[in-house]
Amino acid sequence: MDNSSLKPIKKKPQPKWAILQVLNFVVIAVFVGSITYVAFNYHDTIGHASDSPSPITNMFFPLIVLWSGCLAYFFGFFGISFLDKEYLSGSPSSYGLNQLGDGDISSATSGATTTTTTTSTTKEEVGEAAITATNKSQDFPQGAGFRPSASTSTTTALEARNDTVICSDTKPAAATTASTEKQSDIDFAALADEELLEHLLDGSLKDYQLEKKLGNYERAVGVRRSLYSTILDQDLGLIPYTGYDYDKVFGANCEIVIGYVPIPLGIVGPLVINGEPIYIPMATTEGCLVASTNRGCKAITSSGGCCSVVMKDAITRAPCVRMPSAMRAAAVKRWVGQQEHYQKLEQAFNSTTNYGKLVGLEATVAGRNVYLRFNCMSGDAMGMNMVSKGCLKAIEVLENEFPDLILVAISGNMCTDKKPAAINWILGRGKSIVVEAVIPEVIVKSVLKSSVYDMIETNKQKNHIGSAMAGSIGGFNAHAANIVTAVFLATGQDPAQNVESSNCLTIMEYAEDMRSLHVSVTMPSIEVGTVGGGTHLPAQAGCLEICGVRGAAKGPDSSPGDNARKLAQIVGSAVLAGELSLMAALAANHLVNSHMQHNRKPQTTAAAADTTTTSSSSAGGIDAKAVVDSSSSSVGGGGGMRKNSSMPILSSTSAF
C-alpha cells in the first residue's frame, strides 16, 4: 500500500463528560426531592387540587411537567456517564487498522500531530480488542465432521478463495493497480520455490497464475503442490506429477493442476468388426472387466466377427427461449416448422463452422417457453461447442423475426446432455448404432461355458423384464456402462457423457438355424469424437492410434466424421462382447465365483502364483473368467456356484 495514500487521523470533538455527570446529580436531586415533597404533603395537596378548576393553575401541573422532563433525561442522557469514555472516543472506522502492515500504520501516523498519534494508538488498541472479542465469539465447537488442524492457530481465520479464474472469462479478472505494479516488479521465474511459496501464502501471487508467471508448467504444478500440501497439512506424495506434458493440459483440459491420476490400461481383441480386426484399449480399476470383455471378443471373432452400422449421426443442443404468451410461443413453433424459415436458420447455423451442418430442428412448446432442439453433424468432433455456437447464430435470426423473444438458456435440458432422458433413448443423440453377431452353439459351450437356451432365458428375465420392472430408461442391458466408460477414459472422451452413451438394448434370441445364438446391441446415443477435448493428450491419442481412429479422417475416400463414426461402432462392438461374456457367466452362475478368485488381492504363495500362470497359458489365451468357468465339469454342472433351490433348471439337452 502506498504510504502517501493514508491521511492522518484527526481527533474529533469529544462530549463534555464532567458537565454531564454534574447534570446527572442535579436531575436526580430534583426528581427525588419533588417525590419526597408530594409524599409528605399528600393530604394538603389533595385539598388544594380541587380549588382551581383549570389544569394549568392546578399545582399538579408543574409537578407533572417536572417529572416528565426528568424521565426524558433519564432515558436520553443519564446512562451515558456509566459507559467507557475511552472506548467511545475511538472511532469505529479505526476497526481493522491493526490488520494493515506495520509500515502502513507507521507511515500513516508519522504525518500527524502528537495528539493525533496518541488518539490513533488508542483507536488501534480498541480495534484489536473488538477483533479479539469477535474471534472469541466465533469459536465454533468441534463436531459435525470438522477437525481443527494441529498446525492452525485458534485465532487464524480461513477466508473464501476469490482468486480463481472463471472458465468463461477470456482473461483473468484484473487485479488492483497496486498489486499489479507490485507483481510487475518481480521476476517470479527467477525466484526459488520457497520464495514463490511465500508469495502464494501472503497473496501477492495467485496460484492460478503460476503457469503464466513461471513459463515452466511442471514447475508450476510442483509449487502449487507445495502450497496445497501446506494448506491441507498433508503429504501429496502419492499423487504423481512429473513426466507429464502439461503444455497440452494448460488452457484446455484442467485448471489448478496438482498432478494426474494414473488408471490401469488393458487391451482386448482382436475383435473383428465389419471384417476388420481391431484391438480396443480399456482404462478401468474394476477387476475381471477387461478379462471378461476379452472372452466376449474371442467368442465373436471365432464366430466370424460382428457387423455394425451407424443409423444416425447428429449431436443436439436445445436452447430455451421465452415469449410473452403461450400464443406467441406457438407462433414460434409454427414459424420454424416452415421450410423457407428453416432454411434461414440452417444458413445462419452453418455459417459458424466448416464442419458442422444443421440436419434437423424440433420445437417443443411448454406454456410460454419454446425448446428448440437443433440436430447437427459435427465431423470428427463430439460437437458440443460447435452446435452451441451455431445455435446462438440461429437465435439471432429468430430475434429479428420475434423481437419479444428472450433467450433463457443456450441449453434448456431437452438436448439432453449428461442426464438420463427418454428423448435420447427415443430420438437419439450423437451416433445411433446397432451391432449384431451370430455365435454358433459350439462356441457358446466351449468359450462362453454356457448354453444358448440359458443365455436367451436369462437375458429375457434380467435385461428385459427386470429392467422394465425397475422403470429403466435405456437400461435394458447387463453392464454396457462398464465398457463404455472404460473405452471413454482410454480414448479421451468426456466420461460424464457415459450417462446417455450407455443407453443400450441387448437382445438375445435363436438364430435362423434355431441352434445358434443371435445377439445384438442397439445404442441410440453414443457421443464420441476423435478431435478436441481430451483426445489430444498423449496417452489418449495413443489409444486412439491403437484403434486406428486418431484425429480427423483423412484420405481420398474419407468423409468428415468417418473416424468418429468408426469409434462409435468400436464402442458398441466392445459392449456386445462385454454383454456376451457377462450374460454367459450369469446364466451359468459363474460370476461371483470368478470375481472372488480374480478380483481380490492374491493371498497365495509365489508357487501358487506360478501354477495360476501355467494354467492360464494352457488355456490358449482364454481370459480369467473362461479359466474359472472351464473348471466346471459341464454347463450347469456342480463345479461353480450352485443355483438357488427355488430357481428352475434352465439347461435342457432336449432343446437342441
Active site residues: 286, 418, 494, 595
Amino acid at site 276: E
d(CA 486, CA 265): 9
* Chain-centroid distance, C-alpha 576: 30
> Distances in Å between the alpha carbon of 309 and those of 445, 480, 566?
28, 18, 9
Taking alpha carbons only, the member of 455, 320, 330, 326 closest to residue 374 is 320
Amino acid at site 324: P
Strand partners, 317: 374
Amino acid at site 352: T
Strand partners, 509: 518
Instruction: For the chain, count helices (H), then strands (E).
Output: 25, 11
* Chain-centroid distance, C-alpha 449: 42
How far apart, in Å, do the first and last CA atoms of the chain sit? 90
Amino acid at site 215: G
With residues binned 3-state (H G I as helix, E B as strand, rest as coil), the percentages for the chain, rounded to 5, are 50, 15, 40
Strand partners, 357: 377
- Grid cell listed for 596: 472372488
d(CA 302, CA 446): 11
d(CA 531, CA 283): 19
Amino acid at site 54: S
d(CA 192, CA 510): 71
Strand partners, 506: 521
| Strand 475-476 relative to strand 504-510, pairing | parallel
> Distances in Å between the alpha carbon of 432 and those of 309, 424, 448, 500, 552?
9, 10, 28, 11, 20
E strand or H helix that includes residue 279: strand 276-283
Asked whether 429 and 315 are in contact (CB, 8 A), the reply is: yes
CB count in 10 Å sphere of residue 113: 11
Q: What is the dihedral of CA 268, 270, 274, 280, to 10 degrees?
A: 30
* Chain-centroid distance, C-alpha 457: 40
| Strand 320-322 relative to strand 357-366, pairing | unpaired
d(CA 114, CA 529): 74
The single-letter DSSP state of residue 634 is: S
Helices (H), 402-496: 422-427, 441-446, 452-459, 467-469, 480-491
